[in-house]
Amino acid sequence: MPQIIFPAIRWTARLAALLVAGVFLLFVLGEFTHPHSGPPTRLREWAGILLLTSATVGIVLAWKWELPGALLSLAALAAFIPVARIHRYDVVAVAAIPGVLFLLDWLLRHFGRRVQTIGS
């Protein structure tokens, strides 16, 4: 496997994380500055907010700790689907891209080089 793959995946994950976290931040700021509805009133709404925030925190943490951050992000997104009763999986898939890339980065760095060394 070419050595350029490792940093390319890492930096693609980081850029995707910045993009997803930035969009999430814009949504949060928009809701605080110009709310389109009242504050959350049901437990399900609060749980959804907490899970999306956890997913965003996970991808930011993945800059330093790839595996725990990626797993936190992906687990929070997986829990968000039934809690929010969401049916637009494409939106969740886009939000999961950084977590998947960070997980792939961790796997390649921990197992990819070992396989490459054994195969050489």
Distances from the Cα of 14 to the Cαs of 30, 86, 88, 105, in angstroms? 24, 26, 24, 11
**Residue % of the chain over a pLDDT of 90:** 57
pLDDT of residue 79: 95
Q: What is the value of pTM for the model shown?
A: 0.83
Indicate whether 118 pLDDT > 80. Answer: no
For 54-82, the pLDDT digits (tens) are: 999 999 999 999 999 999 999 999 999 99
Asked if 47 contacts 86 with a C-beta cutoff of 8 angstroms, the reply is no
**Nearest to 66, CA basis, from 89, 23, 74:** 74
Query: Angle at the Cα of 62 (from 61 to 65), degrees rounded to 5?
Result: 90
Q: Quick check: 19 and 95 in contact, CB under 8 A?
A: no
The answer to whether the CB of 62 falls within 8 A of the CB of 70 is yes
Q: What is the pLDDT of residues 5-59, one digit of tens each?
A: 888 999 999 999 999 999 999 988 887 787 777 667 788 888 988 999 999 999 9
Q: How far apart are CA 27 and CA 41, in angstroms?
A: 18
Distance between terminal CA atoms of the chain?
A: 11
